[in-house]
Amino acid sequence: MDSASIYYLGVTLILFLIFVVIVVRTYSKKHAVRGEEPKFRMMDDDYPN
């Protein structure tokens, strides 16, 4: 395995770890209600605040 392959694999792993953090945060209990708020708020956006 040369340095280019290790670098390539390293970038993939870092991206995967970031993805795991996003999943954990999105589905955390703390975030459950707040994470669904935008879908309700967008239903009434015909006029600016």
Partner 1 sequence: MNQQEGYADDIVKGFVIWSMVWGLVAVLVGVFISFQIAFPQLNFPPYLTYGRLRPIHTNAGIFGWGIGSFMAFFIYITQRLTRTSLWSPGLAKAQLWLFNIVIALAAVTLAMGMNRSKEYAELEWPVASLVVVLWVIFAVNIVMTIVKRREEQMYISLWYILATLVGVAVLYLVNNAAIPVSLTKSYSAYAGANDANVQWWYGHNAVAMVLTTPPLAIFYYFLPKATGVPIYSHRMGVIAFWSLIFMYLWTGAHHLLWAPVPDWVQTLAMGFSVMLIAPSWAAVFNGYFSMNGQWHQMRENYLVKFLIFGITFYGLQTLQGPSQSIRTFSAFIHFTDWVPGHVHMGTLGWVSLVLFAAIYYTIPRLYHSEIYSIGLANVHFWLVLTGQLIFSITMWIAGVQQAAMLNATNPDGSLHYSFIETMVELYPYWHMRAVGGVIYLAGLLVFLYNIYQTIAGAKTQAVAQRA
Interacting residue ranges for partner 1, rule: CB under 8 A: 15-16, 19, 22-23, 26-27, 31-32, 34-43, 45-49
Q: Which lies closer to partner 1 via its Cβ, residue 3 or residue 34?
A: 34
Q: How far is the CB of 34 from partner 1 (least distance, A)?
A: 7
Q: What is the 3-state secondary structure (H, E, C) of the chain?
A: CCHHHHHHHHHHHHHHHHHHHHHHHHCCHHHHHHHHHHHHHHHHCCCCC
Q: How far is the CB of 35 from partner 1 (least distance, A)?
A: 4
